[in-house]
Amino acid sequence: MLDMRNVRKVYRAGLVETEALSGATLKVNRGEFLAIMGPSGSGKTTFLSVAGLLDSFEEGDYWLDGENVRHLSDQRLSKLRNQKLGFIFQSFNLIPDLDVFDNIDVPLRYRGMPAAERDTRIEETLAKLGLVARMRHLPGQLSGGQQQRVAIARALVGRPQLLLADEPTGNLDSASARQIMDLLARINSEEGMTIIMVTHDHEFAARAHRKLHILDGKLIDPNSSTSGPG
Amino acid sequence: MALQLFSYHARLAVKSLRRDPGLSVTIVIVMAVVAGMFFTALLHYLRFNAPSPLLSPGLHHVEVGLPDGKVFSVFTGTVAEPNAIVGRLRVSYPIYRRLAGSHIPTRETATFRSRLLIRRAGAGSPDVGAAELPFGSEEPSGRPRNARFVNADFFDLFDVKLRSGAPWTRDQEANGKAVVVLSKLLASELFPKGDGLGAFVLINESPFQVVGICANEQPTVPEWDRASAGGPQDLAYLPFLTHVRLSAFPEMPIHMSTLGPRYADLLASDDIFVSYWLDLPTPEARRAYEQYLAAALGPLGLPYELRDFVGLRRAFPTPWTPVSFFLFLTLVILVGGGLIMARLLLAKGLARSDELGIFRALGAPRRSLFVRQLLEAALLSGVAGVLSVLIAAPQAYFYNTVVADTDIPVRLTPLSFLITLFATLLVGVLFALYPAWRAASRPPTISLGRH
């Protein structure tokens, strides 16, 4: 599903260069649930940005579902993000002036899907996540847990192949966080969706099939003697 | 799909007006004020420079010099000077008769303006029923008004539309029929309770039957006689040959030599000037008329130039006036408003950077966000364009009530509104290009605050 080899990402601010990813190598199989842990500033978010095609990289290669994304156009990258990837952010990132239904509708709009098909998909997803009663609410009218469920619904509605979750429980109380983790685990086991989750929480990371650490831009498999588990 | 996305983005743009309402309102107010200024200037400009109707492409004009150079010694100067235009756009009466003697079967008209006494028949003394005109000389026998002598083809050639009735025919003109087409303004003044069609008016105390009423205000600087001195509009159109019966003097007789006592002496002199037009719709017709000119004017040694309407406009471009300068100035101000709008849009884009990042993460390409930003700018400037009426309308009312410098009022017309709306939209969208590009090309990781 995801095959990243020796990916290097550098941020430049004037003369200062910061290497956020230094030769990251990783292979994730279809249906796998992977947790990535690491201290602040270790490169977790950069890794997810590169994996999610939100950011470019200087060196290395990255195949997403068999397609090398290194030199793709913005149009093609946008299409891949829209069709193959789903994002869940720590701060939910819902559009505040769109209601739940319209928030979930956003990725489908960029697929050019007919209105009737969009409506059906959204209603199915809302039902699956128990949000039907909230579909005309604005994000500001929902609790944190409900907002994250809407964000998950938005990520799932396009039936992506890879779900990228950036500390999905970071802004939630423990009960809501547990519900969200249950939901992600269920999506992975029942629908076979590949999930890569960045988290600080060891308990939640333990629910993944595999756990990696990231330190100074390098991915480390704690169960292996060498870095670069790919 | 493109249309679907377009309407989706239009809907999002409307919603986003509610986001950052302070910025949106500021943009609309700034643009509405500058658009209102432009609108106001445009109303004044259009009052004196009504757009030309679609004229026949065969419409031709002949510029002829006069013998002895005596006219040109008076009319020396650049073409921008009114006198120079008079000298070149009109011909003396004897020359007009030569120009009109070709016998080529075509539409033609001669025209000159005179100031005549016009009143409703049976309305008592000459100045009964004559409303106060803003300016114009007053004579003991009543008030002179602008009246124009034209041939029957004039209305068709220059697309002068009538509200009711019809122009006189060539036969009626040849038979000396005393008929008149009234301007909209004079008709409403003389016949406030009805149309006046079929009624009689007295022109220099001779009865003339009203056969038509103009549909619109008549231009102060008309295409058919751009050398006209401006001022009040033409209030009546009379068959050309009736000028003899009325012994009508042109509005600006320039006496170059001693005249005899009879009206015919004036017409035989070089002191009365007429504009002459004819329709030469085919190359053959033009060639035939060129041959005629060579035969009629060549032996006299007169310099002449036959021009079609486009060539004439090129040779005599509309000169700059204070009103056109004012319009230009407000256009510059409108552009200045666009610059302010661009600055505010940059701020707006920055304020909504996270939202744009979310859209990028969910699959929106740069191009689509760029279009969305432009749509939003178009929406804001469109609203401003519509609101500009709130500035232009009171100004027009105030001007018509307090200043009223001519008998043509400042009027809000659909055309002036559409021009203002278009100009405001154009400026808004042009100046939104850079902010839209900046907002759309911002990396999604920065928009989402991910590093």
pLDDT value for B257: 59
Q: Is the pLDDT of residue A215 over 80?
A: yes
Nearest chain A residue (CA) to B16: A97
Mutant choice from A82, A95, A154, A164 vs B, greatest count of B C-beta within 10 A:
A95
**Higher pLDDT among residues A176 and A227, named by residue:** A176
Q: Under a CB-based contact definition with an 8 Å cutoff, are residues B276 and B228 in contact?
A: no
Residues of B in contact with A45 (CB under 8 A): 450-451
pLDDT value for B86: 60
pLDDT value for B57: 80
pLDDT digits (tens, 9 = 90+) for B65-106: 765 554 433 333 333 344 455 667 888 888 899 999 888 888
- The low-confidence residues of chain B, meaning pLDDT below 50, are 70-83, 124-141, 451
pLDDT value for A102: 94
Mutant choice from A11, A50, A53, A54 vs B, greatest count of B C-beta within 10 A:
A54
Q: Which residues of B touch A (CB under 8 A)?
A: 1, 4-5, 8, 15-16, 18-19, 354-355, 357-368, 443-445, 448, 450-451
Average pLDDT along chain A: 89
Mutant choice from B359, B362, B371 vs A, greatest count of A C-beta within 10 A:
B362
Note whether A79 contacts B: Cβ–Cβ < 8 A: yes
pLDDT value for B193: 84
pLDDT digits (tens, 9 = 90+) for A196-208: 999 988 988 999 9
pTM equals 0.72
Q: Is the pLDDT of residue A54 over 70?
A: yes
pLDDT value for A71: 87
pLDDT digits (tens, 9 = 90+) for B345-371: 998 888 888 888 899 999 999 988 899
Q: How far is B347 from chain A (nearest CA, A)?
A: 19
Residues of A in contact with B450 (CB under 8 A): 45-46, 49, 54-55
Average pLDDT over residues A215-225: 79
The number of CA neighbours under 13 Å toward the Cβ of B104 is: 22
CA distances from A117 to A68, A85, A108, A110, B373 (A): 31, 20, 9, 13, 28
Which fold does the domain A30-56+73-220 belong to in CATH? Rossmann fold (3.40.50)
Chain A from 59 to 78: CB within 8 A of any B CB: 74-75, 78
How many whole angstroms from its chain centre is CA A81? 10
Residues of A in contact with B367 (CB under 8 A): 74-75
Q: Where are the domains of chain A?
A: 30-56+73-220
- Percent of chain A scored above 90 by pLDDT? 49
Note whether A9 contacts B: Cβ–Cβ < 8 A: no
Which of B5, B358, B364 faces A93 most closely, judged by CB atoms? B358
pLDDT value for B258: 64
Going A71 to A72 to A78 to A79, the CA torsion angle's sign is negative
Which of B19, B364, B443 faces A55 most closely, judged by CB atoms? B443
Tell if the CB–CB gap between B8 and A109 is shorter than 8 Å.
Answer: yes
Note whether A119 contacts B: Cβ–Cβ < 8 A: no
Q: Under a CB-based contact definition with an 8 Å cutoff, are residues B70 and B256 in contact?
A: yes
Among residues B322, B318, B326, the alpha carbon closest in space to that of B39 is found at B326
Tell if the CB–CB gap between B445 and A89 is shorter than 8 Å.
Answer: no
Average pLDDT over residues A212-219: 89
pLDDT value for B403: 83
pLDDT digits (tens, 9 = 90+) for B250-270: 876 565 556 677 888 878 877
- As beta bridge partners, residue A86 has A163
Angle at B222 between CA B208 and CA B140, to 5 degrees: 50
Tell if the CB–CB gap between B5 and A78 is shorter than 8 Å.
Answer: no
Average pLDDT over residues A61-74: 91
Q: How far is A106 from chain B (nearest CA, A)?
A: 7
pLDDT value for B139: 39
DSSP helix/strand/coil, A61: strand
pLDDT digits (tens, 9 = 90+) for A119-137: 999 999 999 888 899 999 9
